[in-house]
Amino acid sequence: MKKIIAGLFISLDGVVEAPDQWHFPYFNDEMGAAVGATLGEADTLLLGRKTYDSFAGAWPEREAAGGEDAGFAKTLGDARKIVVSNQQLDFTWRNSELLTGDLVAAVTALKNEPGSGTIGMSGSVSVVRQLLDAGLLDELNLLVHPIAVRKGMRLFEEGDTPLPLKLISSETFQTGVLNLVYAPADSVADATYADAKAHLPQSEQ
């Protein structure tokens, strides 16, 4: 079964919208390696339409330009790219196709295709939310920036059901960015303050 890994730039107050307006001052080699691990090692990319449009509008030109990032641009171009959209699209970037049918059913089938490769995601917040709710996302890589953006869309919307996660790994970059990798977790057990207070420092009598 294939594994789905999603990567997101996120602020300290949970904003994931328009990272191009606050993210770049924190980009260094450490973050480049983290992004490369999510996207550069995936044989398939699953992208929302807006993210796809942004990628398709930039990476083919960077590959053609032959600059420092041309190698990474070629890797993205060579990968299979599946785009989630409710409308028909005219693709100009090679190896691109439209995901058809119900999202959860289509992604379930995609995960069950032969092989054990990785499906990488970047941005595409609405898709990430739906896959988390459906239990289809295997890893959520959050690059938490030390800035409170204070406006814009947050990663998690209000809802009636908690979404427990478990921390797989953590790393602090020199810029202060936290590289946190989560996976879905079992439901959190019921507990009360009476259970918690046993772990508080006890005063000596």
Structural domain boundaries of the chain?
Answer: 3-199
Looking at per-residue confidence, does 187 or 46 come out higher?
46
- What is the DSSP annotation of the chain? --EEEEEEEEETT-B-S-GGGTSGGG--HHHHHHHIIIIIT-SEEEEEHHHHHHHHTTHHHHHHHT-TTHHHHHHHHHSEEEEE-SS-----STTEEE--S-HHHHHHHHHTSSS--EEEEES-HHHHHHHHHTT---EEEEEEES----SS-BSS---SS---EEEEEEEE-TTS-EEEEEEE-PPPPP--HHHHGGGSPPPP-
Residue range 3-199, CATH number:
3.40.430.10
Model pTM score = 0.91
Predicted confidence (pLDDT) per residue in 87-143, tens digit: 888 899 999 999 989 999 999 999 999 888 999 999 999 999 999 999 999 999 999
Predicted confidence (pLDDT) per residue in 4-45, tens digit: 999 999 999 999 999 999 999 999 999 999 999 899 899 999
